[in-house]
């Protein structure tokens, strides 16, 4: 396979250790539904029970789907939880809109178009 000629900019900025302040280790038997933002099933059920019955609303309260995978891992699971809690079929729930770049890409790479010209 041909090697990509695009030079990936090296980060001089370090990644953080954790997003969340409450480590999963302290939440015994917790089932994680959103790995990127470390959100548990119980947290999702809690928010749905306060009256937020859509993926969009749950996302805004708990950040589910706002992390690296942009909801690939969690949205279907959460739709099922909403279905269980409210009876709204998962297939009828509106999915948050997919947005570019779909896969995380470095600022330096995305912004290099003008330099090449």
Q: Which residues bind another protein (CB under 8 A)?
A: 8-16, 19, 50-54, 56-57, 60-61, 63, 66-68, 70, 97, 99-101, 104-114
Instruction: Pick between residue 1 and residue 100 the one whose CB is nearest to another protein.
Output: 100
Q: What are phi and psi of 41, to 5 degrees?
A: -55, -45
Nearer to another protein, 60 or 80 (CB): 60
> Residue 3 or 99: which CB sits closer to another protein?
99
CB of 29 to another protein, least distance (A): 25
Q: State how far the Cα of 69 lies from the Cα of 66, in Å rounded to an integer.
A: 8
Query: Which of 84, 39, 80 is closest to 59 using CA atoms?
Result: 39
The DSSP call for residue 26 is: G
Q: Smallest gap, in angstroms, from Cβ of residue 2 to another protein? A: 24
Q: How far is the CB of 37 from another protein (least distance, A)?
A: 9
Q: How far is the C-alpha of 85 from the C-alpha of 45, rounded, in Å?
A: 7
Rounded Cα distance between 79 and 55, Å, is 7
């Amino acid at each position: 396979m041909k090697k990509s000629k695009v030079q990936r900019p090296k980060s001089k900025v370090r990644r953080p250790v954790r997003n969340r302040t409450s480590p999963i280790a302290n939440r015994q038997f917790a089932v994680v539904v959103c790995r990127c933002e470390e959100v548990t099933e119980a947290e999702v059920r809690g928010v749905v029970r306060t009256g937020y019955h859509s993926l969009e609303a749950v996302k805004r309260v708990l950040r589910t789907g706002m992390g690296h995978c942009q909801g690939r891992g969690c949205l279907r699971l959460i739709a099922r939880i909403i279905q269980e809690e409210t009876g709204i079929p998962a297939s009828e729930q509106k999915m948050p809109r997919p947005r570019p770049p779909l896969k995380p890409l470095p600022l330096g790479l995305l912004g290099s178009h003008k330099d090449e010209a």
